[in-house]
Structure 1
Amino acid sequence: MSDFDVIVIGGGPGGYVAAIRCAQLGLKTACVEEWINKQGKPALGGTCLNVGCIPSKALLESSERYEEIAHYNADHGITVAGLNIDVPQMIARKDKIVQQLTGGIAQLFQANGVTWLQGRGKLLAGNQVQVTGQDGAVSTHAGKNIIIATGSTSIELPIAKWLDERIVDSTGALDWETIPKRLGVIGAGVIGLEMGSVWRRLGAEVVVLEALDDFLAAADRDLAKAAALQFKKQGLDIRLSSKVAAVEVGESGLTVTYNDKNGEQKIEVDRLIVAVGRKANTRDIADAAIGLQVDERGRVVVDGHLKTNLPNVYAIGDCVQGPMLAHKASEEGIVVAEQIVGQKPHLDYNHIPWIIYTHPEIAWVGKTEADLKTAGVEYRTGSFSFAANGRAKAMSQDVGLVKVLADAKTDRLLGVHMVGPMVSELIGQAVIAMECESSAEDVARMVFGHPTLSESVHEAMLSVDGRALHAVNRKR
């Protein structure tokens, strides 16, 4: 048995960041991770780096470049004859990026003195962790502190169980080496939209079935409407209020039966992506006898300091309540590490950004108008369209807008919402402003470079007070 100050169970973006931060703070740290990658070798990084955030963005980038060359460069005076897409090469590039980044974490572990315990971890009594390797070998390790960071897994539908490459989750959709002619997607959330976008750009006919009546229900309504309009123009067929009832596997494809406001409907597809959400990966992570508390959804129950009901045992990331976002998990890992050594870190969950990497991109932070109305908070709004932004025009990406919500009395920023080019990068400005308790006036008084996309943020802030300079202000 080996002893550690901290043992982290899980090597995803929450776990590996927590382990590195613990080591930086002088704690003897180990991280348990069982992932075996596509090449059959142990790998760190969890779902995010191996089959989630990173590989999906690699394919989104490749498919976007292909579509731009194929359909959107003529106005620039650029035409290409004989264009084709080598899908296996695109997949190989994605795999190379994943290997580079996961290998980089292993190097960071070595540089920081973090011990990587390869295998599946299980919490036992007395803060001991049992590690079962791929070869079945079992070892036990003791930790003064334990951090559970076991992440989440895709939800499988009983009516659409995984089937070779025909019915898959997002992981399966990352490894197709041929383009489906007809693709069905169940779920119009982040994963469904991103994966649907990849294969639509490459030529697939894509139908997205969403059970909810509202598109992107968590987003501000103005953003959702603007995004839905662009997706429709692109040919992404999103059908709301469509509840899948059955999936029949035939010799030539799949028949998906669903019910909408007009009754029973059927579509024929070659492949199907099931993207109806994820669930906490907490099955058998702790000996039942120790009584680790989980809720009705299988998430580890924690308090405001991410402590579980067991002494010196913490939990972070997707396996606890809150948004299933990699950056949320990472920050929680840092918070726990610093708490262990007696620091008093702070994490404001209201200032965690959400991002969808479609085209146009969608991003927001803070409250929506619906949130503020429900809470009875008086607010003012300001917005600015990318259609009036010079840089966006030059990029031929002048769709979408930036929308700002500010407190009617104090002018403090309450929410910033964006749909448009590179808003995944622009949203960071809003996060900084809100974390610093800035008002719309504070940001409006700052100088933004010209011509840049970020000027749209500036103009939206000015618009809150009715003084946008490059748009007609609403009468107040």
Structure 2
Amino acid sequence: MQYDVIVIGSGPGGYVAAIRCAQLGLKTACIEKYSTFGGTCLNVGCIPSKALLDSSEHYHNAAHTFKTHGINLDNLSVDFTQMVNRKNEVVSQTTGGITFLFKKNKITSYQGLGSFKDKNTIVVKKEDGSEETLTTKNVIIATGSKPSSLPFLPIDKKRIITSTEALNLTEVPKHLVLIGGGVIGLELGSVYARLGAKVSVVEYMDSIIPTMDKGLGKELQKVLSKLGMEFYLGHKVTGAKVEGEEVTVSFDTPKGEQKELKGDYCLVAVGRVAYTDGLGLENIGITVEERGKKITVNEHLETSVKGIYAIGDVVRGAMLAHKAEDEGTYVAEVIAGQKPHINYNLIPGVVYTWPEVASVGYTEEQLKANGVKYKTGSFPFKASGRARASMDLDGFVKVLADATTDEILGMHMIGPRAADMIAEGVVAMEYRASAEDVTRMSHAHPTFTEAIREACLAATENRAIHI
């Protein structure tokens, strides 16, 4: 079968690329290794984790804030099996939606492992051992990533687990030892902390969410500590061993002392690594980077082989579903002869704890390192009428603006619905708005987004109204 474009991988980058190619009139096929579409994000990542995050937040509120709202409950309990079943239903509905979209857009799908025979020939190896050969003018590699591991710490998927297994536990851990204070670990750690687990976080860096603005990490640590989560920052994990139903994690303290933590589960969340195994890249002369296994691409996301593109987690940049989606659309339009554009500085990052954390643009640390003169304005949610009404008083919005031009250079927030609100920052910065531009725009009252306006007012000659 001859195609204009074959997409290998059906995660957010792959399925969006396939749909956009089809919209542009290109005969398109998508090859997926697993039995369902959607990749890590829809099956064992973004979607199921958000389902558990929402369920656990409902329980936490019922246990801790409903009484203040005048809602009394007796014999509150967690049906963890039902919680996981609901998560699975959400995943099934979402992955099924990709099947519908492929049919709607006349995209041919193949289930199996796709690999290169040559630059224009893809072999699909199916589960039954049979093979099918496809030919194409262009290929988009969108095979995503898998959880990273530590070489001295073997994952047994039973007691020492990754995020994949953490989404399918059959019980709430008594004591979850979490290795890694990044996005994935903190989200899943907060799920189980809300449900009653003791959660201990061991992080090599001196702060959690270390890639984001430092102020966000400090505030998030303070909030998560209220859930009972404990943090060991600047600690280096040296090993872990399983004895029966107990895991012992050993680590070095910043002072060089050796310590141990014992729990019934250990979640290893130290990032993700590009997944390029089995693609047969060597057959077309593509080599992956020694560290990280990422594929090198040019400014148009084309590899060293003409007509072969790569997007998402297998290439440089943040491993984010929406970054992969943007790149999928970008490559489809490049293949169709258009001239699209992506501003990588304005791809937001989000942590879906509660309160949520969101960031776009430059951090304060980056501006200092680059010698950029800037001004800052912040506004705490405890001063927001809407936040008081909903009992969401933790967190703040911080805006960084150019000291001379007032152009917004970065927006960072931790608070209620920050994941949704960061879009205002993205839009403002895409159009190169000044902080004062945002202050001149009407924001409905009472809303959480008023905190953005107030932070911009604070950055504009310290003009915040409500603090």
TM-score tier (shorter)? over 0.9
Query: Displacement, 1:165?
Result: 2.5
C-alpha contact (below 8 Å) 2:161/2:266 kept by paired residues: yes
Out of 224, 236, 242, the position equivalent to 1:231 is 224
Q: Does 1:468 align with 2:467?
A: no
Task: Provide the residue aligned with 1:57 in structure 2.
Answer: 50
Q: Does 1:268 align with 2:226?
A: no
Task: Provide the residue aligned with 1:171 in structure 2.
Answer: 164
Describe the shift of the 1:27–1:252 C-alpha distance in structure 2 as closer, same or farther (beyond 3 A). closer
Query: Displacement, 1:293?
Result: 3.2
State how 1:32-431 maps to structure 2 within 5 Å: 32-35=31-34, 42-262=35-255, 263-297=257-291, 298-431=293-426
- In 1, the alpha carbon distance for the partners of 2:204 and 2:280 equals 35
1:295-322 deviation digits (Å, cap 9, x = unpaired):
2221000011101000111000000000
- In 2, the alpha carbon distance for the partners of 1:444 and 1:405 equals 14
- In 1, the alpha carbon distance for the partners of 2:439 and 2:455 equals 8
Task: Provide the residue aligned with 2:18 in structure 1.
Answer: 19
C-alpha contact (below 8 Å) 1:165/1:176 kept by paired residues: no
Task: Provide the residue aligned with 1:39 in structure 2.
Answer: none
- In 2, the alpha carbon distance for the partners of 1:33 and 1:208 equals 35
- In 1, the alpha carbon distance for the partners of 2:232 and 2:354 equals 19
Of the structure 1 ranges 410-419 and 292-301, higher mean CA displacement relative to structure 2 is found in 292-301
Query: Displacement, 1:159?
Result: 3.0
1:332-351 deviation digits (Å, cap 9, x = unpaired):
00000001111111100000
Query: Displacement, 1:410?
Result: 1.1
- Amino acid of the structure 2 residue aligned with 1:300: I
- In 1, the alpha carbon distance for the partners of 2:304 and 2:260 equals 48
- In 2, the alpha carbon distance for the partners of 1:100 and 1:360 equals 27
Query: Displacement, 1:456?
Result: 0.3
C-alpha contact (below 8 Å) 2:179/2:267 kept by paired residues: yes
- In 1, the alpha carbon distance for the partners of 2:143 and 2:115 equals 10
TM-score by length of 1: 0.96
C-alpha contact (below 8 Å) 1:32/1:120 kept by paired residues: yes
Aligned residues: 464
C-alpha contact (below 8 Å) 2:159/2:245 kept by paired residues: no
- Amino acid of the structure 2 residue aligned with 1:264: Q
- Amino acid of the structure 2 residue aligned with 1:34: K
Describe the shift of the 1:309–1:396 C-alpha distance in structure 2 as closer, same or farther (beyond 3 A). same
Query: Displacement, 1:360?
Result: 1.2
- In 2, the alpha carbon distance for the partners of 1:296 and 1:436 equals 38
TM-score by length of 2: 0.98
- In 2, the alpha carbon distance for the partners of 1:199 and 1:370 equals 32
C-alpha contact (below 8 Å) 1:384/1:463 kept by paired residues: yes
- In 2, the alpha carbon distance for the partners of 1:310 and 1:209 equals 42
Of the structure 1 ranges 218-227 and 274-283, higher mean CA displacement relative to structure 2 is found in 218-227
Helix, strand or coil: the match of 1:206?
strand
Helix, strand or coil: the match of 1:314?
strand
Query: Displacement, 1:252?
Result: 4.0
- In 2, the alpha carbon distance for the partners of 1:271 and 1:367 equals 37
- In 1, the alpha carbon distance for the partners of 2:56 and 2:289 equals 40
Query: Displacement, 1:163?
Result: 1.9
- Amino acid of the structure 2 residue aligned with 1:30: A
1:125-168 deviation digits (Å, cap 9, x = unpaired):
13211111111111111110110001001112233322242111
C-alpha contact (below 8 Å) 1:293/1:308 kept by paired residues: no
- In 1, the alpha carbon distance for the partners of 2:157 and 2:436 equals 55
C-alpha contact (below 8 Å) 1:23/1:112 kept by paired residues: yes
Helix, strand or coil: the match of 2:68?
helix
C-alpha contact (below 8 Å) 1:404/1:413 kept by paired residues: yes
C-alpha contact (below 8 Å) 1:293/1:309 kept by paired residues: no
- In 1, the alpha carbon distance for the partners of 2:236 and 2:316 equals 26
Query: Displacement, 1:243?
Result: 1.2
Of the structure 1 ranges 206-215 and 399-408, higher mean CA displacement relative to structure 2 is found in 206-215
Helix, strand or coil: the match of 1:75?
coil
C-alpha contact (below 8 Å) 2:235/2:253 kept by paired residues: yes
Describe the shift of the 1:287–1:349 C-alpha distance in structure 2 as closer, same or farther (beyond 3 A). closer
1:352-399 deviation digits (Å, cap 9, x = unpaired):
000000111100000011101111111111110101100100000011
Identity of aligned residues (%): 50
- Amino acid of the structure 1 residue aligned with 2:434: S
- Amino acid of the structure 2 residue aligned with 1:214: S
Query: Displacement, 1:226?
Result: 1.3
Out of 447, 458, 462, the position equivalent to 1:452 is 447
Helix, strand or coil: the match of 1:469?
coil
- Amino acid of the structure 1 residue aligned with 2:62: I
Helix, strand or coil: the match of 2:84?
helix
- In 2, the alpha carbon distance for the partners of 1:469 and 1:179 equals 45
C-alpha contact (below 8 Å) 2:49/2:188 kept by paired residues: yes
- In 2, the alpha carbon distance for the partners of 1:387 and 1:61 equals 23
Unaligned runs of 5+ residues in structure 2 are none
